[in-house]
Amino acid sequence: MKILYVLETNVKSRQAVAVLEAFAGEGAEIGFVSLLGRGDLHDALDEAGMPAHALGIESKYDWPRAVRRLAAIIRSEKPDVIHCVEPVSAVIGASAAGLARHGLRVFHRQHSTARWPQTFFARAANKSCELLIACSDFAGQACLDEGVPPEKLTVVHNGVPAPRAVGAPEIAELRRSLAIDDDSHIISTVARLRPEKGIQIAIDALETVQGRLDAGVVFVVAGSGPYEQELHELAASSSADVRFVGHQSDVAPWFSVADLVVMPSLFDAAPLASAEAMACGKPILASATGGLLEYVDDGTTGMLVPPGEAGALADGIADLLGSPGTLEAYGRAARERFDARFSVERMAAGCIEAERAALARR
């Protein structure tokens, strides 16, 4: 099977390269298209011998030209599947496939509730694509709520490449670089700093945790985003010990240094960070919302608490950090759950299986 994989980004990331390699590892012939101009992702794929195209979109006024360019690529390469990730890619990909009169139109949906203007494109992609692949049961239900026929929908949980192993010397050096003493507990999160990620809830929770344990608790936040300044100001006015380390392309150290990973999202479709934390063998304390309910097995790989409730989150942090044996058992179970359900190879295999079935039904 020949697949043309359409993304908006042109930026090289470990996740993007791993996904494309995983599709190829399943026996598919893969070509790549970015909606933007050429970037370092194209260079990486060129080195891997994978065809990589760029549509060169700079504004919404370029979209008609991009559709024509993509249609020309489809006519030339004749892929069986046009696999489009997220709404704008899916609308442009489906339009181009229709113009070329070739290829199964697939919308790989990575969100649950869309925000404007994404809402318009999500609903257009729901109608124009022949197969929808949702990243979680939660996202799949959102599709059904928007009127997507059940026969067009398949759920394939997001997967990630296993982060690299991080040894004890690197962890010790990281603690030293952050000036964290050997006795202090560390909790961490890796997230885009937006209000819905709930980092502000964790900061509030930590104010009440400090006196409940026999050691200090340091909250390490890796990430950047539009809510960053507000979070810095909140942390500065709080008694919680919060360390912001900015965006990190290599997430393995920031999970591995932690005793506990927290994900206090107010809503989340299927956070890749939860799978990455499990791959690092870390227990997760998360909000019982959205796709997190499908990733974190409450009482086995971590703990779930009501979203938005700082008191419940504080109780969870104190209980788990006060029970090292529980943390260790949850961490082992988390790695096993990752291997069984959330590897990037399993995701690729699930997508290809769904696409083969959809092709057979045409």
**Are 136 and 17 in the same domain?**
yes
How large is the average pLDDT for residues 247-266? 96
**Are 335 and 347 in the same domain?**
no
Mean pLDDT over the full length of the chain = 95
Q: Count CA atoms within 13 Å of residue 49 on its CB side.
A: 2
Q: Is the pLDDT of residue 118 over 80?
A: no
Structural domains of the chain, count: 2
| Three-class secondary structure of residue 298 per DSSP | strand
**Are 209 and 88 in the same domain?**
no
Confidence grade of residue 268 (pLDDT, cut at 50, 70, 90): confident
**Are 274 and 295 in the same domain?**
yes
Q: Where are the alpha helices (DSSP H) in the chain?
A: 14-25, 40-47, 63-77, 87-100, 118-128, 137-145, 168-177, 199-209, 228-236, 252-256, 272-279, 292-295, 310-321, 324-341, 344-361
Domain containing 247: what range?
168-341
Confidence grade of residue 114 (pLDDT, cut at 50, 70, 90): low
Q: What is the pLDDT of residues 20-70, one digit of tens each?
A: 999 999 999 999 999 999 999 999 999 989 999 999 999 989 999 999 999
**Are 293 and 347 in the same domain?**
no
**Are 178 and 207 in the same domain?**
yes
The CATH number that applies at residue 115 is 3.40.50.2000
**Are 16 and 81 in the same domain?**
yes
Q: Is the pLDDT of residue 360 over 70?
A: yes
Report the pLDDT value the prediction gives residue 210, as an integer from 0 to 100.
Answer: 81
Report the pLDDT value the prediction gives residue 362, as an integer from 0 to 100.
Answer: 86
**Are 145 and 292 in the same domain?**
no
Report the share of the chain in percent with pLDDT over 70: 99
**Are 60 and 72 in the same domain?**
yes
**Are 93 and 211 in the same domain?**
no
Report the pLDDT value the prediction gives residue 116, as an integer from 0 to 100.
Answer: 66
**Are 79 and 156 in the same domain?**
yes
**Are 336 and 348 in the same domain?**
no
